[in-house]
Amino acid sequence: KQTLLPLLREETSSFIFPCHPAVQRLELRYMVMELLRCIPLLLFLLFVCGLDHFIFSILSIIQHHSFVQYSYQASHHLSVNVMGTSLMAQLLRGTIGALNTSFDTEVETSNLACLPQPSGMTRRQYLDTCLPLGALALLCLLQVYPFRLRRAIAAFYFPKREKTRVLFLYNKLLRQRKNFLHLQRGRLARQARQPPGLATSLLQWCGRRWPWMRRFLRRRCALCGTPETPRHRPCPDPGCGALFCEPCW
């Protein structure tokens, strides 16, 4: 509870607040990892769709440029005429005359039955193929909100364990704050012993030379780096001049 232990600015990034609609820092890390796992599936899907389009293009080129049509026409006429009125002529006309034939042949054929008949995928089919992957990516983005209910469900079924976890977290925060203040004191002491840089000295000189420029030279908190506001407090030591925000002070 905030009334029990208000969080500092640096501590808020280490917790997940269930009522915040935005994706928070810890959740963003897991969400990015889940999205990275979808990249191999996306690459495989793009490869399969590209291969399908490539094969369809090749077969379509073969179908349109390898079509051959044959046309065959033939005409045959045989006529034997035996002249005369003798017995032999009549006999020959009765026998050889049966050989008289006459026919015309016209044949058209093609290799259409041997050619491939490809059918390309429509946009609707491509969309239906990519839809499951899109749904998977959407679930990776939305899974952070159901995951926030895990602590509430565990607290409902195991209230004693929840009380132990809260107490452990409270003591852990106290230890972290103690170590944090100790480390920050050492860091500020080392920073104070270092001479100011050229840019810092120039800005300070400009602020002393032209007081009206001080409102444009916004200072920051020496501990957390927040911009200067009317609620910031300067260090009472005349030789220090450090500025602190209210929570850090």
Query: In 3-state terms, what secondary structure has residue 78?
Result: strand
Spatial CB neighbours of 141, under 8 Å, sequence gap ≥ 6: 23, 31, 35
Averaged over 72-99, what is the pLDDT? 77
Asked whether residue 129 is assigned to any structural domain, the reply reads yes
- Per cent of the chain over pLDDT 90 is 22
Place of tokens 């500092």: 8
| 9 found inside a domain | no
Calculate the alpha carbon distances from 213 to 155, 158, 201, 205 in Å.
55, 60, 14, 11
Confidence grade of residue 212 (pLDDT, cut at 50, 70, 90): low
pLDDT tens-digit series, residues 127-173: 999 999 999 999 998 898 999 999 889 999 999 999 999 899 889 88
CA angle in degrees (0–180, nearest 5) for 232-237-239? 110
Lowest mean pLDDT among 17-21, 26-30, 70-74, 85-89: 85-89
The pLDDT of residue 3 is 61
Note whether 81 and 134 are same-domain residues: yes
pLDDT band, very low/low/confident/very high, at 238 (cuts 50, 70, 90): confident
pLDDT at 110 over 90: no
Answer yes or no: do 38 and 86 share one domain. Answer: yes
Residue 244 belongs to domain spanning: 202-248
Residue 34 lies in a domain: yes
- At 37-81, the pLDDT tens digits run 999 999 999 999 999 999 999 999 988 888 888 888 888 887 777
Q: Which residues pair with residue 107 across a beta bridge?
A: 72
- Asked whether the beta carbons of 27 and 15 are under 8 A apart, the reply is no
Q: Which residues contact 23 (CB under 8 A, 6 or more apart)?
A: 31, 141, 144
pLDDT of residue 211: 64
Q: Are residues 105 and 221 in the same domain?
A: no
Asked if residue 143 and residue 30 are part of one domain, the reply reads yes
Q: Is 225 left (phi over 0), alpha (psi -120 to 50) or beta?
A: left
